[in-house]
Amino acid sequence: MNWKNVVAILFMVFVASCSLDDGDDFVFDVAPTISVDLPDSLQKGQTYQFKVIYERESTCQAGYGFNYSTDGNERFISVLTQTQVGATNCVENDTLTGIISLNFIVDGTIDDFYVFNFWQGEDEDGEQEYLSIEVPVKTD
């Protein structure tokens, strides 16, 4: 994922965090992935539910969805979170995690394998880091 994609992700998060409603306001963010439960292989035409464990900054932060993009057989995925503005009784801790499920449909456009790249943050040089897992597609 290049810097243009990162800028696009941050822009979408910024736009999504704007509210014209006088109701509850939320702050949206991207959370680093810790681990993912993927099958050993995928079958064409099947739907899978991937369990994604991500870092949480506080007990008031919750999984909201995913940012998802494709490039050939690669899938770039980041966990989106939301935190209610003004929430009280939030506990901050470096060891908090959350679990969110990603539904994935093997639609038949990829015949050999998928490479799933789950965003884990940036290194000290500002380069994007991913948990990359290759999963073969079975054709029978």
> Residue 68: which domain range?
3-138
Do β-strands 74-84 and 61-71 pair in parallel, antiparallel, or remain unpaired? antiparallel
Q: What is the pLDDT of residues 37-76, one digit of tens each?
A: 999 999 999 999 999 999 999 999 999 999 999 999 999 9
- Give me the CATH number covering residue 45: 2.60.40
Strand partners, 70: 75
The domain total for the chain is: 1
* Alpha-carbon span 81 to 23, nearest angstrom: 18
The distance of Cα 21 from the centroid of its chain, to the nearest Å, equals 26
Q: What is the pLDDT of residues 89-127, one digit of tens each?
A: 888 888 899 999 999 999 888 989 999 999 999 999 999
Whether residue 19 is predicted with pLDDT greater than 50 in this model: the reply is: no
Given CA atoms 62, 83, 65, 41 in this order, what sign does their dihedral have?
Answer: negative
Q: Write out the two tokens for 137.
A: 């597609």
pLDDT value at residue 30 = 95
pTM of the model: 0.79
Whether residue 26 is predicted with pLDDT greater than 80 in this model: the reply is: yes
